[in-house]
Chain A
Amino acid sequence: MNKIASFTTSSVGRKLLMGLTGFFLCSFLLVHLYLNLFLLKQDRGSTFDSYADFMATYPLIRPLEIILFAGFLLHAFVGVWLWIANRLARPVRYAVNRPSENSTLSSRTAFWTGTFVLIFLVIHVNTFFVSSRFFPSGISMYERVCEAFQSPLYVSFYLVALAFLAYHLKHGVQSAFQTFGLKRKKYETLITATALVFWLMLPIAFAVLPLYFLLAH
């Protein structure tokens, strides 16, 4: 027990937790995208809705939902914890500082891009998940998606959030590989390619859907 406590409160241990939850959330994004792509199937959403029903009713999905929720909370909690501790490590700031000379903007702003993504998530979960799960009104998930994605305001917000997500993952994915000690010369190409799939291709694929609904309907 002592070992687990010292591990999770140590700086390296917390980093590893960030990386682990980060990888887990990325894997969820893949599943989410896979299901979202059924929105493009020309069957007025019947395949998409059948998946949505499955997710809402199949008993084994419940514990997975809880694990996923815990994953988000842990990632955000450890992130805030690290951010506060890191701020405290420099109580007096530099009068002149030029961080752009030594690091990327995405790496320095991971906390803020993550915060925006979290705000988006609360709204997003409320729009699609909370209302359908806890206040079912006979409207199918496909209809909810159609409605939300026909509002230019919601679509704009969604796209901005995806841009923030992309920027967050631009730092996050390769950073998680580094945290797990995998970022070595021989894996460099593999890591760059994997990172590119997650930070660039995945958000673009997500962005296609609201644009399709907005423009095609």
Chain B
Amino acid sequence: MSGTMTITLNVWRQRDRNSEGRFALYTLPNVSPDMSFLEMLDLLNLDLVRKGEEAIAFDHDCREGICGTCSLYINGRAHGPLKGVTACQLHMRTFHDGDSITIEPWRAKPFPVIRDLVVDRSAFDRIMAAGGFVSVRTGGAPDANTIPIPKPVAEEAMDAAACIGCGACVAACKNGSAMLFVAAKVSQLALLPQGHAERARRVESMVAQMDAEGFGACSNTYACEAECPKQISVTHIARLNSEYLRANLT
């Protein structure tokens, strides 16, 4: 096949949470530059299954950058070398024939490896359950625009809401801190009037849960913002900090 590439892959393999992991080396020919990164892994898995070997486990769902399931540390970068994209949106044209690519799972104590490249991110769910919601009566959907919200505020809240909870911020942070994730959720709800009632309790509970899970503390390197596929700004972390201060002072 003309125009295809041969890629050497160094992939983290680990049977389960309690086993020792190791890197395995694979050479994959016939990689089309038009393939997505995950399709390239599908191709490799097909090859492995044909040979009677275990397929490589990796997380994926929507494959269009909206669900936040894919989570690969590619050549030393969360979601690979491009800015503002998830691993599923990364294409093999970013690489060259003969390249070698190291793929690792997210590394953080609260994200234990379950198998190969799959990590358990339920710590994020527990943080959300601790306060990442607004308590409202269920019933018919309220009319739109019954509560006027200034456009810039709505925009800012929307930017925070773009967080897909993939965990790249934790993976990229040298401290394994989840503060960008927590900040996006806290900020989104703190900005909107619907979130005001539970504002103080929310930030305290979510930060407490984040700490209990064993995430590190932010030291403002801003690696999270640089690697976030949704380019969530660290301004939200500044807001998280002031929300926390406010909740503790009042």
| Chain B residues, CB < 8 A from A6 | 204, 208
Contact A89 B104, beta carbon cutoff 8 Å: no
Contact B219 A107, beta carbon cutoff 8 Å: yes
**Contact stretch, chosen from B50-58, B60-68, B233-241:** B233-241
Contact A11 B216, beta carbon cutoff 8 Å: yes
Contact A86 B234, beta carbon cutoff 8 Å: no
Contact B23 A95, beta carbon cutoff 8 Å: yes
Contact A89 B223, beta carbon cutoff 8 Å: no
List the count of A-B residue pairs having beta carbons below 8 Å apart.
142
In the docked arrangement, what's the CA distance between A171 and B217, Å?
A: 16
B177 → A minimal CB distance (Å): 7
In the docked arrangement, what's the CA distance between A65 and B220, Å?
A: 30
Contact count band on A: 35 or more
In the docked arrangement, what's the CA distance between A12 and B179, Å?
A: 9
| A-B contact list, 10 entries, CB within 8 Å | A6-B204, A10-B211, A85-B217, A86-B175, A86-B217, A89-B109, A90-B216, A96-B104, A99-B221, A103-B221
Find B219's partner among A3, A16, A82, A182 (CB 8 Å cutoff). Answer: A82
Contact A181 B76, beta carbon cutoff 8 Å: no
Q: Hey, which bits of chain A sit against chain B, CB under 8 A?
A: 3, 6-7, 9-16, 82, 85-86, 88-99, 101-104, 107-108, 110, 171, 174-175, 178-185
Contact count band on B: 35 or more
Closest to A175 in B: B220
New A-B contacts (13) at CB < 8 Å, excluding given A89-B175, A101-B77: A11-B217, A11-B218, A12-B241, A15-B219, A82-B219, A85-B216, A95-B10, A96-B75, A97-B76, A102-B226, A171-B220, A178-B241, A183-B235
In the docked arrangement, what's the CA distance between A83 and B23, Å?
A: 29
Q: Which of B86-135 contact A (CB under 8 A)?
A: 102, 104, 107-110
A185 → B minimal CB distance (Å): 7
Contact A11 B238, beta carbon cutoff 8 Å: no
Closest to A100 in B: B76
